[in-house]
Amino acid sequence: MKKVLSVVVLLLVCAVTYAGGYRVSLQGQRGLAMGHTGVAMVNNAEIAFFNPGGLVHLEGKLNIAVGGFGVFSDVKFQNAEFGQTSQTESPTGTPLYLYASYNVSEKLAVGLAVYTPYGSSVEYPTDWSGSHLVNNIDLSAIFVQPMVSVKLLEDLSIGGGPILAIGGVNFNRNLSRNLTDIDGNRSNVTIDSQGLTAFGFSVGALITPNDQWSFGVNYRSRIDIDVEQGDGDAVFSNVPNSPLAPIANGTYDFTATLPLPAEWTVGVSYKPSDKWTLNFDWNYAEWDAYEALDIMFLNTDGSLALESINPRNYKNASSYRLGAQFDVSSKFVLRGGAYFDESPVQDGFFAPETPRNDSYGFTGGFTYNVTDKLAIDASFLYLTFKEIDASYDSYIEGGERVPFGGTYKSSAFAPGLGLSYKL
């Protein structure tokens, strides 16, 4: 199970993602509509994700925000030299979130955040030119985080709590570029694991010196996904019955480790007037923790049946985010934003299951206040990845490196809808 998530997260990194690395930046309608900003702005219960230190500043006793997104994405690949082309077939993803907070007193609040930072699917046509690296992947992950927020001073509050990660993954690839059984069927492996759990934490602080300015910082810890024997199944199919085959048909255990990197977000929010709010967030992810994804396939007695060495050599990367909010009236609020997200992938490590290059995100949305207590929130994200000529040079077959590369062009569109409630 744990190993499944490792692989899932790895694949999500690229083809179907909406932020650097494996992250999916769809954790709330209001924050996303403002360029995925919010670490320094107390807007609604979404602050539980962006900065738990701000929970204690929410109005009313009880605050709830719930919603979700539809995600439509694709990756186009072309290698003109060899006449190879392909395009992913990506089912609609549906990231969800639920945030709730309760003000125990003027200086103390507790909350709960449930969100899906990893959750998507991508599928290449069967036996495409890069099928020895990936055919398809389906990932789901849910983070559950209880938290507490305390006002230390009138203009300083802090908050945080532990994170429980629960996830699963299904992943398929061919064993090599041309290995088949006697009937010509491509040899392949399918990895499946569900119910993975891992732990981490996040902490944040909010400074509000006056009614115009606020400053926030949030830290989310590294979470190591360790896959142990018995946590999932690796099924090898269509392997020829030959002593030269790398492994026999059947079901195996496997082990792997994947780090979900630590990240820092620092931001500022400024209100030049009663109607306008401007945000800027800077996010820094410590992707250098992701050096490789090595998978060990095990026999039932625990002995090594086959190892898969997959260098990744990621580098640390930043995201720069801008957002604006305009209060049209007491009933209607407009939002817009944009961000630039650096790729953590280095030259020579651009794998098709992680086609993650630099990207630009453009966002917008609105809130309609149905009553003083209930509001409808909507947003959209259009994400375009810079077209890039890149390759993955670390695939080894027959003792030799066999680079795989071409031109990648990716995009994603994610509309969202949610509700906000305060009492």
Give mean pLDDT, residues 71-83: 69
24 pLDDT tier (thresholds 50, 70, 90): low
pLDDT at 41 over 60: yes
Give the span between the Cα atoms of 19 and 187, in whole angstroms: 33
Q: What is the pLDDT of residues 93-139, one digit of tens each?
A: 668 899 999 999 999 999 999 998 765 567 777 778 888 888 887 76
Residue ranges and CATH numbers for the domains of the chain are 2-422 (2.40.160.60)
Looking at every residue in the chain, the average pLDDT score rounds to: 87
Give the span between the Cα atoms of 310 and 52, in whole angstroms: 36
Give the span between the Cα atoms of 379 and 33, in whole angstroms: 5
- Position 312 scores a pLDDT of 86
Give the span between the Cα atoms of 193 and 232, in whole angstroms: 4
Output the pTM of the full model.
0.88
Give mean pLDDT, residues 404-415: 85
- Residue 149, SS3 per DSSP: strand
Q: Cβ distance 313 to 291 under 8 Å?
A: yes
Distances (CA, A) of 344 to 97, 167, 289, 318: 26, 23, 11, 9
- Beta-carbon contacts of residue 289 (< 8 Å; ≥ 6 apart): 222, 259, 261, 262, 314
- Residue 121, SS3 per DSSP: strand
Q: Cβ distance 403 to 360 under 8 Å?
A: no
- The DSSP 8-state label assigned to residue 6 in this structure reads H
Q: What is the pLDDT of residues 389-405, one digit of tens each?
A: 888 888 888 888 888 88
Q: What is the pLDDT of residues 159-181, one digit of tens each?
A: 999 999 887 778 889 999 889 99
Give mean pLDDT, residues 310-318: 91
Q: Cβ distance 101 to 148 under 8 Å?
A: no
- Position 315 scores a pLDDT of 93
Tell me the sheet residues that pair with 404.
392
